[in-house]
Amino acid sequence: MNNVIINEKDKITMKLVHYFITKENYTPIIVNGAKNEIWLENAEGPYKIIRINSNYIHNEEQFKIDIYKIRNIIRQVRKKTLSLSVNTLNIVLNINENVKVKDVKDISSIIINNESDIYKNKNLKSYFPTIKVEKTKDGDNLDFIIKTTKEINKKTEKENIKYENTFKKKKIVITYALIALNILMFMLMYIFGNGSTDSNTLIKFGANFGPLVKSGQLYRLISCAFLHIGIIHLLVNMYSLYIIGTQIENYLGKGKFIFIYLFSAITASLMSIIFSNNISAGASGAIFGLLGSLLYFGYYYRVYLSSVLKTQIIPIIILNLALGFMISGIDNAAHIGGLVGGAIATMAVGINNKSKNSEKINGWIVLVILLAFLSYMVFFK
Residues that are catalytic = 284, 335
Walk across the sheet containing 107-111 and list its strands: 27-29, 37-41, 49-53, 88-92, 107-111
Q: How far apart are CA 108 and CA 125, in angstroms?
A: 14
CA dist., res. 24 & res. 21, Å (int): 6
Q: By the 8 A CB rule, do 36 and 54 touch?
A: yes
Half-sphere exposure of 314 (CA within 13 A, CB side): 12
**Cβ–Cβ < 8 Å for 233, 282:** yes
Do residues 21 and 40 touch, judged by C-beta distance below 8 A? Answer: yes
Q: What is the DSSP letter of 229?
A: S
Helices assigned H by DSSP within 100-139: 115-120, 122-127
Strands 88-92 and 107-111, by their bridges, are parallel
CA dist., res. 177 & res. 357, Å (int): 31
The DSSP string of 70-131 is HHHHHHHHHHHHT-S---EEEEE-SB-TTSPP--BTTEEEEE--SHHHHHH-HHHHHH-TT-
Cβ-based neighbour number of residue 1 at 10 Å:
5
The CA distance from 309 to 323, in Å, is 20
